[in-house]
Amino acid sequence: MSLADLGWNQDFENKFNQINNQGGYQVARVAVEYKGIYKLYTEIGKVLGEITGKMRYNNKFPVVGDWVVVDLQIGGERAIIYDILPRKSKFSRNRAGSKAQEQIVASNVDTVFIVTSLNQDFNLRRIERYLTITWDSGANPVVILNKADLCDDIEARKSEVEAIALGVPVHVIVALDNKGIEQLKKYFKKGDTVALLGSSGVGKSTLINSVLGKEKMKVNNIRKDDGKGRHTTTHREMILLEEGGIIIDTPGMREIQLWDVSEGLSDSFTDIEKLAQECYFNDCQHDSEPRCAIKNAIKEGIITEKRFNSYKKLQREIKYMEIKKKRGANAAEKYKWTTLGKL
């Protein structure tokens, strides 16, 4: 395989040359992340790598999709990872727990397939959340409506999604029967990376198998009572397509906490933010103020109240996350000075 097949370009080359000014290092792309060990793709094939103690001390860990600076050991079967090249895009969420901590799910992604199923699990508000995170990551979103054979009114569902996914391509497929898969292949160009995002049971693994044309990913059945599934994929993995293109599979995420997505929120809700500029008062809260453009738009059916409430909910989550991060920074600063005082 060549580096270009893996997504290497001139921008990464320039970044690598700044680090490797004296030579001696090579580059690799992270394909799978295990506990402390990484499967890497290089020009000479697959190798296993581990990070240096310095990177571990600085809490600098690669993620799937990263380009890393490596030193290939004798025999070319092992590698030491010395650094991570700056990412052109990254898909982040807040790590589970009480503290605000970023968890990067995947990096250097060109397109994100937001996969949802047209059964009981169909949820417009969740799609809005995924769109917000995707826009903020720097990748381009594409909505995939899977399991169309379980839907009685496909066009109505598709119209609902198109109304909230402004300017975003929406594709209807049945991955299990390979229906609609051909229209997705245009996104898998040589060196381009596509990441899959969606809840458990929406058919991400089946979609990958259909694109690959073989049984690569394990598939589980979903529960018939609520249409929800178990986690088939338990780790993130980068898969190379024979005809070109790269897929990154991710574990199903039913609830995903926001990180820093203020820009993504604006991209996802451009209709609401444009309407807000037409309000009579600059500080309009869109509640009981007169001549509120958003309230009028809801009344006239231009936007739905559910969509506006979703926008306000995501706004509140972003503000709450900013407070949590600030509190964490203040606590770290206090700990630092307390420790220095003891010394």
Binding-site members for GTP are 146-149, 198-206
- The phi, psi pair for 45, rounded to 5°, reads 125, -160
Q: Binding site: which residues?
A: 146-149, 198-206, 279, 284, 286, 292
**b/e per residue 290-320 (b: at least 16 CB within 10 A):** eebbbbebbeeeebeeebbebbeebeebbee
* DSSP conformation class of 267: H
From residue 335, give the alpha-carbon distance in Å to each of 56, 87, 311, 326: 21, 31, 36, 14
Alpha helices (H) in the chain, listed in sequence order: 10-19, 53-57, 124-137, 154-164, 204-212, 262-268, 270-276, 293-299, 305-342
Tokens for 48?
Answer: 């296993």
Per the CB < 8 A criterion, the answer to whether 251 and 236 are in contact is yes
* Calpha distance 92→102 (Å, rounded): 7
3-state secondary structure of 18: helix
Tracing tokens 């969606």 back to the chain, one arrives at: 198
Residues that constitute the known binding site for Zn(2+):
279, 284, 286, 292
Write b or e for each residue in 245-271: b if 16 or more Cβ atoms lie within 10 A of its Cβ, otherwise e.
bbbbbbebbeeebbbebeebbebbbeb
Supply the DSSP string of 40-77, one letter for each residue. EEETTEEEEEEE-HHHHHTT----TT-EEEEEEPTTSS
Please state, in angstroms and rounded to a whole number, the distance separating the CA atoms of residues 68 and 59: 15
Question: Angle between the 305-342 and 124-137 helix axes, to the nearest 10 degrees?
Answer: 50
Tokens representing 31 are 């394909």
